[in-house]
Structure 1
Amino acid sequence: MEHPSIIFKIVCPDRPGLVSKLTSWISDYGGNIKHSDHHTDQDAGLFLSRIEWNSIHTTINRKDIYDKFQTIAVDINGKFNINYSDEIPNVAIFVSKQNHCLIDLLWRVRNGELKMNVPLIISNHPDLESIANDFNSQFVYFDTVNSSKSDVEDQILKLIDQFDIDFVVLAKYMQILSDSFVQKFSSIINIHHSFLPAFKGAQPYHRAWKRGVKLIGATAHYVTKDLDEGPIIEQCTVNVSHRDEVDDLIRKGRDIERVALARAVRLHLNHQVFVYKSKTAVFD
């Protein structure tokens, strides 16, 4: 039986010999490297590395690996993460009325394309409860019109804790999370129906149509306190023409929203995204 892969991610000040230092330690430990990706941001003076490897040892001592790699990280002044390919995170999906992104994500989970559990679906409308039931997810509806935002978010945070949620996906949630919420739980991916930074905010397809654009897009990004300003993970585009009306842009946009969001979630699950200095490096 093959052992799970071990995934190292580290960001540190750039200096000569870093790749050799990291890979030599893996070799000395008895590891076999499957994937190795590195990048130097010369402007920031930073070195980024993601190494996925297998151990030949009959058992994997995860604490021992962490402790030894921490020693290396301290030596090179780096910030690191260690993950394993057999980790299956719990994910909460937030939705409103539109179902296309939710159905797509749940379908990909069921078919094994996205290795995650979805025990919880939260919505500010009751419309999509049957979809949650079909996929054996707990559906929780909050009336955000007649309830205070702070009360709703406090209840959502309790559910996140109760269901042991690792990260959240906003699959067309159409609600702005407060700064307080994002500070308390910041591992959130959002799909925005525009090729950011163009057409931020509401009704981007309507505004794009008025401008007569020939290309529309969708952007999946991490959520920060600044609306639609979070580090970008994935973007997709599709051509449009003068014959297209707003409804055509919305229809085409839904297709690329699904693709962009699924790609972003997969990259996040595979630990292929580095966030630093308000931007990302994606090792795809």
Structure 2
Amino acid sequence: MSLSAEAGDEYVLTLDCPDRPGIVHAVSGFLLEHGCDILDNKQFGERSQRHFFMRLHVRAEGGPSVEALREAFGAVAEEFGMRWRLEPHSARRRVLIMVSKFGHCLNDLLFRTRSGELNVEVVAVVSNHTDHQRLVEWHGIPFFHVPVTADTKPAAEARLIELVEELDVELVVLARYMQVLSDGLTRKLDGRAINIHHSFLPSFKGAKPYHQAYARGVKTVGATAHYVNSELDEGPIISQQVVEVDHTYGPEDLVAAGRDTECKALSNAVRWHCEGRVILHGNRTVVLR
């Protein structure tokens, strides 16, 4: 993770734990004690499972470093059984994008990153085709062609893991990467790989979802960005987008209509994940926006 020059005194604290009285008091009291001013707070108590989720954006004017805050907060976290993360607010997560032949989501992510809308650092693009190599290299980003066949799939996935480790990748984004990842790879990337599926899940899983939607005469089509797990198109959902269609739309019209929803759902998911707004809880997510 790289930091901008002004990252020093603003932090994001994200946490979740079993719900009980006193959590907000303990966290806000800790921040006050350590000279932190709360700039933004989002919280949610899940009643049926009695679980609490919280994200705070804080400023520590001339206060402790992120390392000192982490060390001190450990006692509070232990008392309440928290899963937690504390990061500089301006930290840019290191992202690797995977793509096949459809380039609209890739192009959208690269544009949003270049324009500063996404505060991430795209450290590499991996593809099983070379169609988008010139686009990626125009952006000054390394491009890796890793072909995949039934025989070479284990070697291709081993190469991907090498790149993830060598480049210190924090998030892998499957931007219409049309290969199914193995169970072993999904376990290695658990909680740090996001896929875009071109349907409004849980409807129309698997291949050619727009054609499936056409066959059912749908009146809306959409896209779903979700974490990758070992079940095809079953990972915890982060973001969804839809657009209205009607009986005049053929399968290719639905494909065209759905492109914008794919781009928007994926960019939202990447942004929220990298801003520490997404908390995984079983097979669901809580997005604190």
Query: What's the TM-score, normalizing by structure 1?
Result: 0.96
Please name the residue that 2:128 is paired with: 124
Q: Which of 262, 266, 282 is the equivalent residue of 1:261? A: 266
Could you list the per-position Cα deviations for residues 113-172 of structure 1 after superposition, in whole angstroms to 9, with x for gaps in the alignment? Answer: 111111211001111101111111111112212742111100111111111111100000
Cα distance in 1 between the residues matched to 2:26 and 2:253: 53
Please name the residue that 1:167 is paired with: 171
Could you list the per-position Cα deviations for residues 161-196 of structure 1 after superposition, in whole angstroms to 9, with x for gaps in the alignment? Answer: 111111100000011110111122221010000000
Please name the residue that 2:47 is paired with: 42
Please say if 1:141 is aligned against 2:159.
Answer: no
Please name the residue that 1:225 is paired with: 230
Aligned 8 A contact 1:208 1:216 in 2: yes
Q: Secondary structure at the match of 2:212?
A: helix
Cα distance in 1 between the residues matched to 2:64 and 2:133: 41
Please name the residue that 2:33 is paired with: 28
Cα distance in 1 between the residues matched to 2:269 and 2:188: 22
Aligned 8 A contact 2:8 2:88 in 1: no
Aligned 8 A contact 1:273 1:282 in 2: yes
Q: Which of 243, 249, 254 is the equivalent residue of 1:244? A: 249
Please name the residue that 2:3 is paired with: none
Could you list the per-position Cα deviations for residues 195-228 of structure 1 after superposition, in whole angstroms to 9, with x for gaps in the alignment? Answer: 0000011100001001000011100001011111
Please name the residue that 1:114 is paired with: 118
Q: Percent identity?
A: 37
Q: Secondary structure at the match of 2:286?
A: strand
Please name the residue that 1:176 is paired with: 180
Q: CA deviation at 1:2?
A: 7.5
Cα distance in 1 between the residues matched to 2:88 and 2:151: 41
Query: What's the TM-score, normalizing by structure 2?
Result: 0.95
Give the aligned residue type for 1:279. Answer: R
Please say if 1:61 is aligned against 2:65.
Answer: yes
| Residues 261-280 of structure 1: pairs in structure 2 closer than 5 A | 261-280=266-285
Q: Which of 152, 157, 177 is the equivalent residue of 2:156? A: 152
Structure 1 gaps, min length 5: none
Please name the residue that 1:17 is paired with: 22
Cα distance in 2 between the residues matched to 1:115 and 1:157: 24
Q: Secondary structure at the match of 1:97?
A: coil
Aligned 8 A contact 1:35 1:53 in 2: yes
Give the aligned residue type for 2:145. Answer: Y
Please name the residue that 1:204 is paired with: 209
Aligned 8 A contact 2:54 2:288 in 1: no
Cα distance in 2 between the residues matched to 1:63 and 1:117: 22
Aligned residues: 283
Q: CA deviation at 1:86?
A: 2.2
* Inter-CA distance 2–95: structure 2 relative to 1 (3 Å threshold): closer
Aligned 8 A contact 2:97 2:106 in 1: yes
Q: CA deviation at 1:68?
A: 1.2
Aligned residues: CA RMSD: 1.3
Cα distance in 2 between the residues matched to 1:283 and 1:263: 12
Aligned 8 A contact 2:94 2:121 in 1: yes
Larger relative contact order (C-alpha < 8 A, sep ≥ 6)? Answer: 2
Aligned 8 A contact 1:6 1:83 in 2: yes
Q: Secondary structure at the match of 1:22?
A: helix
Q: Secondary structure at the match of 2:84?
A: strand
